[in-house]
Amino acid sequence: MRKPGAEMISKSPFQRCFVFMIQLLLLLMLASAAPANAGETAPGFFRYPHTDGESVIFTSEGDLWKVSLDGGTAVRFTTHEGEERFPHFSPDGKLIAFSGQDDGQDDIYVLPASGGEPRRLTYHPWRDQVLGWDPDGNVVFRSARDIPYRGYRIYHVSPDGGWPESIGLDKGSLISYEPDGSRIAFNRYSREFRNWKGYKGGWAQDIWVGDMSKMVFENITDNPAVNDWDGTDAFPMWHTDGRIYFLSDRDGRANIYSMNPDGGDVRRHTDHKKFDVRWPSLGQGIIVYQNGMDIWYLDIGTGENRMVGINLPTDRVQARDKIIDPAKYITDFSLSPDGRRVLLCARGELFTVPARGKGLLRQLTFTSGVRDKFPNWSPDGGQIAAWSDATGEEVLYLYPSTGGEPVKIGTDGRGWHYPPVWSPDGKRIAYSNEELELIVIDAKKGEPKVIDTGAWEIRDYRWSPDSRYLVYCSPDENEFNVIKIWDSAGDQVRQVTDGFFNS
C-alpha cells in the first residue's frame, strides 16, 4: 500500500538505459579493482637457453629453471644467491653443466638433468664460462686464466673432475664441433656483453674453421672470395646436416643464418625485426635463443620458429622495493689534496663528503639523464676533472669543487675514455680512449696531443713529481705490457722494459 503523498514514477526508456549503463560501469570498475588470479604471473626475463630436444634449461632471476619445449610452468633448479648461467645439457641428456658464482666468480658445475645437488669442477679466481660439451663427453668452457692481458682461451674438464686442460687454441671464445669431431668452428673474440649495434671494428667477430690435428684454420666469414662481412658473425653451431648455423647482423638486426663449412651458400632462417637474437645454442636439431625477454626456438628440420611460452612461478623478490646499501653504488672515489674531503661518483652523479667527522655533503651534478665518471681532483683542490656524456658523447669537463657550472675542455669525442690524471703543476691532464691512444690535454687551452698508441687500451699512466715525465704501461702485440716514459720537454717516448716480459 502506498504511503500518503507518495507518487508512482514511471521511468522512461532513456532513464532505464542510463541507470543500466551506470550499473555496468560500476561492475567494470569493481572487476578491474579485484585482485588478480593467484595463478597468474608477470612476464619474466629469460636468458642463456639450451635444449635437449624436449626441455629448455635457462637462467632467470639469477637461477636455473627448466621448462618443456612446448612451454608451460617452469621449475626452479637452483636457489643460491650467486648467479647461475650458461647451462648446457650433456649429449646423453643426463647432466647439466653451468657456470655458478657460489664464491663470487664463475666456476664450472654439473648437476643431474632431473635436478639435485651441483658438483663443482673448477676453482679459479677468473671467470670460467661454460660453452657446451665436446664429442668425448667433457665440459668445454672459456677462461682468461692463462692470458696475461686480454681475451679467452678454451678449456675442457671431465664431468667427474680433474685438472682443466687447454684444447690448444691461442685464443677462443665460442666453439662448436663438427658432428664427427674432426673439425671445429670457433670465434676468437668475445663481445656478447658489449651491446654495440652495427659494430665493424677490430673486435668484430668472425668464424674460423679448421682441423685441430693440423692446427690450420681459415676465416670463413671475412673472406672476400666467399663470404665477406665486416660485422658480427658469432655463435657457430655445427649441425648434422653439414651446415654451420650462426648469429649475424649482416641485414641490420641479428638473426640466425647458416652456411657451408667453407663459408658459402649463406641462408637466413629467422626474421626478427624488433630485437636482436641473443645467446643461441643448438641441441638435438633445435636452436633455442633469447629474443627480447623471451625464449624462442627454431626447429632446423621443419623450419618451425616460435616463442616458448613460459610461466615463471616466483615471488619476484628481486623486483620488490628494498633498502639498499649506498656504498655498493659508488663507482669512483678520490681524496682531496688537503685530505679533508672525499670525492665520490655514484649512479653517474658527483658528490664530495667530509673525510672524517661531520660536515656538509655537496652534490656537484644534478643530471639524472647524464652519466659523469672517473672524477679526479686538481692538485690545488679547486677543480674536478670528469667525463660527462651530456652532449651525447663523452666529453671532459672541469667542475668547481664547491659547486657551480662546469667548463668543457677539448672537443666532443666518440666512444669511451679512461680516467683523467692531472699533472702535479695542474697545467695538463693525461687520459686514454677506445682508439688505443694516450693523450695529454692543456687544462686551460683545451688542446689535446696524442702521445702514443698501444696494441690495446692504455689504462695505467702517472706523472713524475716535476710534471715533466709521464710513465705508462703500453700493451704490446704479444699482449704483454711494457713500460714507457714520455718526456714532455723533448716530446720523446722511450721504452724502458723488455717486451719478452709482462710489466
- pLDDT by residue, tens only, the chain of 503 residues: 333 333 333 445 444 444 444 444 444 444 444 333 434 445 789 999 999 999 999 999 999 999 999 999 999 999 998 999 999 999 999 999 999 998 888 999 999 999 999 999 999 988 899 999 999 999 999 998 886 656 799 999 999 999 999 999 989 999 999 998 899 999 999 889 887 788 888 889 999 999 999 999 999 998 888 888 999 999 999 999 999 999 999 999 999 999 999 999 999 999 999 999 999 999 999 999 999 999 999 999 999 999 999 999 998 887 888 888 888 899 999 999 999 999 999 999 999 999 998 889 999 999 889 999 999 999 999 999 999 999 989 999 999 999 999 999 977 677 889 999 999 999 999 999 999 999 999 999 999 999 999 998 999 999 999 999 999 999 998 888 999 999 999 999 999 999 888 88
Taking the whole predicted model, whether its pTM rises above 0.85 is answered as no
- CA dist 180 and 145 (Å) reads 29
Q: Using the 8-state DSSP alphabet, how is residue 304 labeled?
A: -
E strands within 309-443? 310-311, 330-335, 341-346, 349-354, 362-363, 372-377, 383-388, 395-400, 407-409, 421-422, 428-432, 437-442
How far apart are the C-alpha atoms of 174 and 280, rounded to whole Å?
Answer: 11
- The whole-number pLDDT of residue 217 equals 96
Beta pairing partners, 383? 400
- The candidate with the shortest Cα–Cα distance to 332, out of 403, 384, 368, 390, is 384
* 160: nearest Cα among 143, 130, 139: 139
C-alpha to C-alpha distance for 251 and 228, rounded to whole angstroms: 13
Q: Which three cell numbers stand for residue 33?
A: 579493482
Residues 6+ apart with CB under 8 A from 204: 222, 230, 231, 232
Residue 111: the pLDDT is: 98
| β-bridge pairing 72-73 and 310-311 | parallel
The set of cell numbers assigned to 325 is 646499501
Task: Look at residue 150 in the predicted model and tell me its pLDDT.
Answer: 64
User: What pLDDT score does 109 carry?
Assistant: 98
Phi, psi of 234 (to 5 degrees): -145, 175
Q: Does domain 47-316 have CATH number 2.120.10.60?
A: yes
Residue position matching grid coordinates 668484430: 204
Dihedral sign, CA of 134, 139, 143, 147?
negative
Alpha helices in 191-311 (DSSP H): none
Task: Determine the CATH number of domain 323-495.
Answer: 2.120.10.30
- List all residues 6 or more positions away from 244 whose beta carbon is below 8 Å from its beta carbon: 176, 185, 207, 209, 236, 237, 238, 258, 259, 260, 261
Those residues with Cβ within 8 angstroms of residue 394's Cβ, 6 or more apart along the chain or in another chain = 387, 388, 413, 415, 416, 417
Query: In this structure, are residues 375 and 386 in contact, taking their beta carbons and an 8 Å threshold?
Result: yes
| Sheet hosting strand 95-100, strand order edge to edge | 84-89, 95-100, 107-112, 119-120
Q: Write down the pLDDT at residue 412.
A: 66
Q: Which residues pair with 278 in a beta bridge?
A: 290
Task: For the chain, give every domain's residue range.
Answer: 47-316, 323-495
